[in-house]
């Protein structure tokens, strides 16, 4: 890797894990090499946009609770393999830092890489390379590219599982999903259609398949709107654990659920991606304060 440009540095973060700090003229962020996990993004003069639990476990082999976990090569539990890690192995593995360079947006762009090995083939018997490009400026842009480096096709699920910091999740209006059908995982996987902007009124776990449009989170408590644009993503997921599920998670504070909401860019369930040998698929999400 070349010498890091001004504003970029590698340091020991929480739990002694290595993290890359990106501080540009328009905003700052940090990415843990553990899981290629974006744990912080803050435009200049604004509140932090991402949320991380105060009880998150920053340790090897454990997922970081909050920020933007990378889910790959499956989403949720792996069918037929209860011992497999939830949301795949990518968020639990060390990624290598390939490069950091200045970006035309007056920010910084980092490239991280994860390749297949004997450990990944235990659960996913395919050869691949995954790269995450992280651009930090006034906006946060994430591009997850998966390439099939093997000789046979494979099918995978993926998500950029964004946790957003909000003033009070009970007072949000999440727009852009009106008219879309979804699976309600908090209601026995019932199929429903959203008729109005989404409000968080209880445990929320909704998977919107076949949806590609822009989504916005209106936060009246903090007086801001978070815009989420996606390409290469056909699934959107909205999640908030509410009271009981928050208390049941050891890495999530009992009283933290009003501080966050997840709006995720994904390809899951019927929208899983099939890659031919040599082919690649990019999933991009752009997050900005509007």
Which residues, in sequence order, are CB contacts of 184 under 8 Å at separation 6+?
A: 190, 191, 192, 205, 206
Handedness of CA 36, 173, 202, 80 (dihedral sign): negative
31: nearest Cα among 76, 119, 124, 95: 95
Out of 157, 256, 259, 264, pick the active-site residue.
Answer: 264
Question: Coil, strand, or helix at residue 61?
Answer: coil
Tokens of 45: 């003069």
Sheet holding 224-231, edge to edge: 96-102, 108-115, 128-136, 140-148, 280-289, 224-231, 215-219, 173-175
Which ranges in 95-173 belong to alpha helices (H)?
118-121
* Beta strand pairing call for 158-160 and 260-267: antiparallel
Tell me if residue 145 is catalytic.
no
Tokens of 53: 């639990």
Cβ(266)–Cβ(158) below 8 Å: yes
43: nearest Cα among 168, 161, 141, 140: 140
Out of 161, 211, 256, 259, pick the active-site residue.
Answer: 161
Tell me if residue 18 is catalytic.
no
Name the residues annotated as catalytic.
Answer: 161, 264
């Amino acid at each position: 890797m070349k010498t890091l440009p001004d504003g970029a540095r590698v340091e020991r973060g929480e739990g002694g894990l290595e993290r890359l700090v990106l501080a540009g003229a328009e905003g700052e962020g940090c990415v843990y090499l553990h899981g290629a996990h974006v744990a912080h993004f803050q435009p200049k003069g604004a509140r932090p946009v991402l949320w991380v639990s105060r009880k998150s476990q920053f340790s090897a082999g454990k997922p970081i609770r909050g920020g933007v976990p990378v889910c790959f090569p499956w989403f949720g539990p792996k069918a037929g393999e209860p011992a497999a890690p939830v949301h795949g192995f990518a968020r639990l593995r060390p990624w290598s830092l390939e490069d950091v360079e200045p970006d035309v947006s007056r920010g910084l762009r980092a490239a991280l890489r994860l390749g297949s090995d004997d450990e990944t083939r235990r659960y996913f018997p395919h050869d691949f390379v995954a790269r995450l490009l992280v651009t930090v400026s006034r906006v946060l842009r994430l591009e997850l590219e998966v390439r099939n480096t093997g000789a046979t096709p494979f099918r995978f699920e993926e998500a950029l599982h964004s946790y957003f910091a909000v003033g009070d999740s009970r007072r949000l209006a999440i727009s852009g999903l009106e008219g879309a059908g979804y699976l309600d995982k908090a209601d026995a996987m019932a199929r429903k259609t959203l008729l109005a902007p989404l409000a968080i009124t209880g445990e929320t776990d909704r998977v919107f398949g076949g949806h590609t449009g822009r989504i916005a989170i209106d936060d009246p408590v903090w007086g801001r709107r978070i815009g989420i644009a996606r390409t290469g993503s056909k699934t959107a997921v909205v999640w908030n654990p509410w009271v009981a599920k928050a208390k049941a998670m050891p890495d999530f504070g009992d009283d933290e659920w009003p501080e966050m909401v997840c709006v995720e860019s994904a390809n899951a369930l019927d929208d899983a991606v099939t890659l031919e040998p040599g082919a690649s698929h990019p999933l991009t999400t752009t997050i900005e304060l509007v």
